[in-house]
Structure 1
Amino acid sequence: MTQVFETRIVHSLVKIFSDEELTEIAAASGAALLNEVFSYQVAYRSQQLIPEVKVTVESGLGNRIMLRSVGLAPSEYPVQHDHDDNMLRTKPGLYPDPLLPLDGDVVRAYPGQWRSIWITVNPQNEVKPGVYPIVVRFESVSGEQLAEERFELEIIGASLPKQQLLHTEWFHTDCLTTHYHTEAFDEKHWDLLRQYIQTAVDHGVNMLLTPLFTPPLDTEVGGERPTVQLVDVEVTGEGEYRFGFDRLKRWTDLCDACGIEYFEFSHLFTQWGAQHAPKIMATVGGETKRIFGWETNASGEAYHAFLNQFLPQLVEWIRENGLESRSYFHISDEPTLDHLDSYESARNIVKDLLEGFPIIDALSDYDFYEKGLVENPIPANDHIEPFLKNGVTPLWTYYCVSQYKKVSNRFFSMPSARNRILGYQLYKYDAAGFLHWGYNFWYTQYSKKVIDPFRVTDAGGAFPSGDPFLVYPGENGPIESIRMEVLREALQDLRAMRLLEELIGREAVLAALDEGLDEPITFSVYPKNADWLLSKREWMNGKIKEHVMLKK
């Protein structure tokens, strides 16, 4: 006989669909280090509608535990037509993704639908090592206990080392202004910026896209995005300019307070070819006007003269504020072989002006590196082999809409294991950085229209759901996603491997990763199931614990 109210504990890599039977075996225990965020789920299903189910938690971990409800997000475009077979689903529908705050500790149980509570434990180095029971209870509004689940979390007496990987998820500051109806850099906007930056930092982002001028990213040719410009520009004469950096200083101070370590200054030329200037607004005769944009030839005298005045003053400001070792620059995003000449021209304009600063760009054609046009390329994870073969360092990688065959990614339709395996891959290849373009892109493709991310998750049918953003715009700030939590787990795995490397050596860690596999791990070959990831992490935890015990 089917129970009226069922519950089951499952790990964080399970995506629970409301219209699908839950076949995952129950989990009862887990482990984390002193400064590691640990997540798991309690799934529940009722045979009848229960409008209000009260959910409570009891544990010695106290306020280190947060409960959220896993919400469902619609996807009209879950995957490309020629996808591989490492997918959970390929049809449009509702997918588990947003992590919604509990409204008065109450959830709704729909008849016959599996849903789940996402449990997050954050010890923050303030919990003593030991085993902590966590009891989650479900009750009716009348106080009747519907179910109870007990989980045991062991806190191991060791801490993850500081993250070495440079990690950026492109922050679209203009999307905050349009969704929350603020003016760029008014006080409400600054408060939102703080919240979204802090959430990014808490999930392993330590480098932030910094809009010197409105970033020329995903913009329709001839169109423009809302102005979000940190540098003040005043035209003082024919081809002469005065610059102000007060707003940029407030930005970097805010980033410092949130824990951002590196700044990637926005692209100095347009996307896909570096053929035009970004939109730049200036005060001209007391009025604010656009002085550069799509109408500006990137290699023309006017923009060249502007950069010759602007970049030296920016570099001086960077040095005055002690940011030399923390500053990175972009020329143009995702140029192809057709753009070699225009990219080279743009690079030559800024090369001497930015001497000593790393220039990083997402591009996948090895020719750009071979010809010396970019010293710090960021190839996609499905185009990285030539860069690996030729020993390119420092090694970065990225993925986006086009990386959906064999390699790791984080679409709604993909299993969470395909998201988390990234940590192992980044460790094996000793990657210096990881980039993704979509922290909070809440527009349609080419930024033509504003969308509601709770209703449109594919940029208006342009990119499979899960590519454009990691966070949703809550009423008062960011709402995180399953994908964001799992990506944090991947970065924590990477740090755990760094710790284990300190204890047993890199060669031993690498050997353990490939042990028992038919083929060594690469960016396109890796174990597909969650059990392998969890068991490998369990093995790492055991080794770390052994060394902790030996020190006592």
Structure 2
Amino acid sequence: MGTPVLKRFMTLAGLASVLIPLLPAVVQAAVPAAWVQNSADHVFSTSSPPARPTTSIALFAARGEYEAAQVLYRPASAATGVSLSATALSGPDGTSIPVSEINVRRQYDHPDVILHGDGIDLKEYEVPPAGGTSFYDALIDNTPVSVAANYTQAYHYSVHVPAGQRAGVYTGSVTVKSSGGDVLIPVSVQVYAATLPPADQSTLKQNNWFASVGWDYKGAELAIPEQYADAAAYSPNWWKVIASFARNQAKHRNNVIYADFQALLIPDTTIDAAGNFSFGWATFDRFVKLFEDAGAMQYIYTPTLLEPHPVQGGSRPMLEMLKRGADGKPQKVLADPNTAETTAYLKKVFPALKAHLDTKGWTDKFYMSALDEPTEAAQVTAATWFYDIYTDYFPDPLTNEAHGYTFLPGAAENITTFTPYTENYEDHTGYWQDQRLKGKELWLYVCIVPWDYQVNRLIGMHLAKSRLLPWLVWKIGGKGFQHWGWNYWAYKPDGEFRGYDTFDGPQNGDSYIVRPDKARYDVYDSVRSEAQLDGAEDYELLNQLAAVKPVTAQAIADTVITDIATFERSGQAVTERHKQILDALVSAEAEPQLPYADDFSDASSARQWLVPINRANGQQESSWSVAGGEFVQPQISAGWDKAVANLKGRAYRDVAASVDLRITGVSNSGGRENWAGLMVRNLSGTEIDTGYLIAQRDNGEVFVVRSGTTLARAAVPGYVAGQRSRLRVVARGDTITVYAGANAAPLLTVTDKAYKAGDIALVTGGAAARFDNVKVNPETNPAEGRTVTATSSYLGDGWSPQGAVDGERGSTAGAMGWSSDADLATDHSESITVDLGSAKPVSRVDLYPRADAGNVGRGFPVDFTVKVSADRTNWTTVATRTGFATPGAGARTFPFPTADVRYVKVEGTKLSRDSNGHFRMQFAEIEVAGGNLAAGRAVSTSSSYEGDGWSRTALTDGQTRSALGYSMGWSSDGASTATATVDLAGPTRFSSVVLRPRTDGEALGAGFPVDFTVQVSDDNAGWTTVATRTGQTRPGVAGQTLSFTPVTARYVRIAATKLAADPVGDPRLQLAELEVR
């Protein structure tokens, strides 16, 4: 067996086949004519069945959601009459999802998709298996067709779950019908007890600009009449098309309608010879009402009214205004801004607009926009004039503008909502985030660019990118997404509009995501529009999850997308995360705690860290590696926002994080101002402009920065350049406390409400650095960094009350721990109390003796008690020791039945002497444990596959949601039996073991043991069986809890004697997590 075989099911070679082998397949005697693939990966007419094809559809959906899969049909000989026939889906207690909620469409193979040349040059793109430029995109009618031999015809099977649907599993089928014989494909849809809001009540504001009238007054106005017969503007057929747009946009959650109010005024407005206006709103109202009635209108967005001069461009912006034409009718003209004429016009049209919107109840839904992608200072000046007049009539306006490559903060100051292009956002994240934190809304947009290694929705790109656009918005704390081209039916924006063929003509996917259904005056969707719909639904579900479990939501998102270039290209991975969001939403389980500790003694540690991808070349932004027992970033030239290593797939709220760091070189630019440190709570784990940057400069200064703003700074006493220094951050609630160097007292304390949860990362700015002893404690030890009181305390030489909870288990110069300091000549009583901040379930207290050379165990009390309390008034003694022998190094553990505890007190009534003969009570550290007692503990196994997210350490890393390449859990490797042992690091009282299965999509529960025992031991030699299972079936997400009479033991072992198959069919023991409670 060995590694090569295991990699068949855990390593992804290529993107088209990613994770397909993980899905359970129906065993067939021959290669099937039909198989199934997820809806977020491209398929091609030259695609062949994978080695283990999936032959059933399994979908997972919230109520109100659309979910889909692709069915591929590839006959060995030519077939005729090919179509798909779907049945209704039967559910619990006679409920059903009717056929009317199921949509089957044939995919159209477009022969001339442009990847390079003619104004586009993709750096990252997909290549059909047989080469060429044919891509499936449009979804057309499921009418019977002929399919040639060895040609793969793709279909899109979609189910809409009504909002009131009962939760449960619904089953049915879809049949591929053809002259070659029918192929039955079973279908199951699991409906969760979670509900998406309708499109017009969404939290995501989605604005795909669509062509109707106005806007640019050229291609936008030609789009409909050039594609549909007898569909001139405002004709009956034109209105029929607009109604179709409204229905489609409601389905696809495009809830910001692009309506040019000035253009829609033209049919009903009169202007007399003296220039007096009589504004008519009937056409505007009819237009908007179609979208409102369809459920697509949550907001109205009017096209920009300040346009570049046709010749002079942005250096001379022009106002679009209505004037009386030679024929006496209103027409759109361009006029210089800030003249008597244009000022008078705005002072007429704006109050009229406000009064009308008020009567319709649309004022708070209306976005005004002056500029599109401003580049010149003159545009900023014109926009300031424009908005100054606008706000006279709209005192609390909604305003929004797209910002392209050019960074013009002056233009941004005028508006309430920002929509930067993704590269503009990345290059100026600190500014955009600072504005967001000040209360302005942040959106993102893409258009023909980016072409490189970023998300976009061009046809030749990985289909998953279309789905990930709303995920990226969510990751940055954004509220909206914008794209300029929903139905701008031309090959290029400045190209030929007349008679353009949207199916067989040259195309790249920029200017449209739907195509005209000419016969029905409707539109055809595309695989990209459906993927983007899925992403919008994911956004809503992420928001629902973040409202109750922000850490879970962030952690799931981190395993899909980290920043604009660092993300999963696999649609299967995104589909699996969608299911994990749903599972987390309906689960009653608490947020995960994801402890981490690493001394980098093993080079494989580097796999735990994610380095951002350069958007231009697809390579890592900086060089990180494990060398000499440290994690090393050797480049002094790496930019201040580039040299980041993110702790993969993990997120934190209340957390203590520490690292030993040593700056080994600095760039000439900045010199000793350059730095190294930690990121805490950043939204995108591979950048430094969200969350909090806490770093040490090479000149000895430590600082806290949030989105470009310095919150605090101070010099570290005793800092020596080039020497190792410890940096520790404790973030709890709105308080961030920073400790640095050999100082137990806090160096900096900051109160800030901006970022509540996020990632952890190591980072350097213009410096080369070496990192060691990274520790991340997400309240698994809730004593760290807490308030300590003591009957007496020695302050000096590294001793202090805070030293007892500084996260350092040993005793080193500057970090010795705590020591009493009273009545040194006589034996007496001393006590130390830790306040955990709030009551927590606790079942163990660990006392670490001092461990400095020659003094190991000195100062540890001889007679003492451990007491706990919820209120500091009523105390319960949970441990009593008399005549306690001088301990060696390492924790002395005191277990007890779980109790709700806020205060922990150790009271020594007989003390030992220190090296000077003085009676003292001394501890290097006091720790507290409760809940999952296995979290972060050491694991040993009979065998282990190490790679692709599988590892021994992942068995107790707190991650229960499997993600390939991040944390899958642990897998045995190459034997018919398997064991895994957790060392709880001391005697521990517990009464259950929870075994969590792998949870990656349809591989859920694979490799879960069939026959096994749970055993306990005090010494890792003699074992007692506390639970036995035989014939265990494949479990669901919750796994199996094995309960037993409470025991006290140090070691816990699962021993499996009969293994289940992994997704490839090999026997393995695979668990996402082992918990001890």
Superposition TM-score tier, normalisation by shorter sequence: 0.7 to 0.9
Alpha-carbon distance between aligned partners in 2 of 1:230 and 1:531, rounded to the nearest angstrom: 49
Paired residue for 1:156, among 172, 182, 192? 192
Deviation at 1:344? 1.8
Map 1:341-356 to 2 at 5 A: 341-354=378-391, 355=394, 356=396
Paired residue for 1:112, among 147, 150, 161? 150
Cα distance per residue 1:116-157 (max 9 Å; x no partner): 12101001124322222232222335xx73322213221122
**Counterpart AA for 2:77:** Q
Aligned to 1:48: 77
Map 1:490-505 to 2 at 5 A: 490-504=535-549
Map 1:397-408 to 2 at 5 A: 397-408=444-455
Deviation at 1:537? 1.9
Paired residue for 2:552, among 489, 505, 508? 508
Matched, 1:278 2:314: no
Aligned to 1:528: 569
Matched, 1:379 2:423: no
Alpha-carbon distance between aligned partners in 2 of 1:454 and 1:532, rounded to the nearest angstrom: 30
Deviation at 1:392? 2.2
Aligned to 2:299: 262
Q: Is the 8 A contact 1:381 1:399 kept in 2?
A: yes
**Counterpart AA for 1:310:** V
- Structure 1 stretch displaced more, 121-130 or 481-490: 121-130
Alpha-carbon distance between aligned partners in 2 of 1:479 and 1:110, rounded to the nearest angstrom: 24
Aligned to 1:217: none
Paired residue for 1:472, among 515, 526, 539? 515
Map 1:130-529 to 2 at 5 A: 130-140=168-178, 145-161=181-197, 162-173=201-212, 174=221, 175-180=223-228, 181-214=230-263, 232-259=268-295, 260-271=297-308, 273=314, 275-278=317-320, 280=322, 282=324, 287-288=328-329, 290=331, 292-293=333-334, 296-336=335-375, 339-354=376-391, 355=394, 356-364=396-404, 365-369=406-410, 372-390=413-431, 391-393=434-436, 394-443=441-490, 444-446=492-494, 448-450=496-498, 451-456=500-505, 458=507, 465-474=508-517, 475-476=519-520, 477-504=522-549, 506-514=550-558, 521-529=562-570
Deviation at 1:262? 0.5
Paired residue for 2:46, among 19, 27, 44? 19
Compared CA separation, residues 302 and 446, structure 1 to 2 (3 A) = farther
Which blocks of at least 5 consecutive residues in structure 1 are unaligned?
A: 215-227, 459-464
The alignment-based identity, stated in percent, is 17
Compared CA separation, residues 149 and 366, structure 1 to 2 (3 A) = same
* SS in structure 2 at match of 1:359: strand
* SS in structure 1 at match of 2:503: coil
Alpha-carbon distance between aligned partners in 2 of 1:151 and 1:369, rounded to the nearest angstrom: 55
Deviation at 1:40? 0.3
TM-score scaled to structure 2, two decimals?
Answer: 0.45
Aligned to 2:649: none
Aligned to 1:225: none
Q: Is the 8 A contact 1:47 1:112 kept in 2?
A: yes
Deviation at 1:530? 2.3
Which blocks of at least 5 consecutive residues in structure 2 are unaligned?
A: 1-27, 90-96, 213-220, 590-1036, 1039-1077
* SS in structure 2 at match of 1:15: coil
* SS in structure 2 at match of 1:488: helix
Q: Is the 8 A contact 2:208 2:483 kept in 1?
A: yes
- Structure of higher RCO (CA pairs closer than 8 Å, 6+ residues apart): 1
Aligned to 1:223: none
Alpha-carbon distance between aligned partners in 1 of 2:496 and 2:276, rounded to the nearest angstrom: 33
Alpha-carbon distance between aligned partners in 2 of 1:302 and 1:456, rounded to the nearest angstrom: 45
More helix by share: 1
* SS in structure 2 at match of 1:424: helix
Map 1:50-69 to 2 at 5 A: 50-60=79-89, 61-63=97-99, 64-69=101-106
Deviation at 1:363? 0.9
Matched, 1:127 2:165: yes
More strand by share: 2
* SS in structure 2 at match of 1:404: coil
Q: Is the 8 A contact 2:515 2:524 kept in 1?
A: yes
Alpha-carbon distance between aligned partners in 1 of 2:386 and 2:196, rounded to the nearest angstrom: 43
Deviation at 1:230? 5.3
Aligned to 2:725: none
Q: Is the 8 A contact 2:121 2:451 kept in 1?
A: no
Alpha-carbon distance between aligned partners in 1 of 2:411 and 2:387, rounded to the nearest angstrom: 19
* Bigger radius of gyration among the two: 2
Alpha-carbon distance between aligned partners in 2 of 1:301 and 1:23, rounded to the nearest angstrom: 70
Aligned to 1:218: none
Q: Is the 8 A contact 1:457 1:466 kept in 2?
A: no
Cα distance per residue 1:201-233 (max 9 Å; x no partner): 21011111111234xxxxxxxxxxxxx655643
Q: Is the 8 A contact 1:4 1:47 kept in 2?
A: no
Alpha-carbon distance between aligned partners in 2 of 1:283 and 1:83, rounded to the nearest angstrom: 45
Alpha-carbon distance between aligned partners in 2 of 1:126 and 1:371, rounded to the nearest angstrom: 43
Deviation at 1:533? 1.4
- Structure 1 stretch displaced more, 302-311 or 171-180: 302-311
Cα distance per residue 1:407-454 (max 9 Å; x no partner): 211111111111212232222222111111011001342365322212
Deviation at 1:546? 2.3
Q: CA RMSD in A?
A: 2.9
Alpha-carbon distance between aligned partners in 1 of 2:540 and 2:294, rounded to the nearest angstrom: 20
Cα distance per residue 1:157-184 (max 9 Å; x no partner): 2212452011110010132233223221
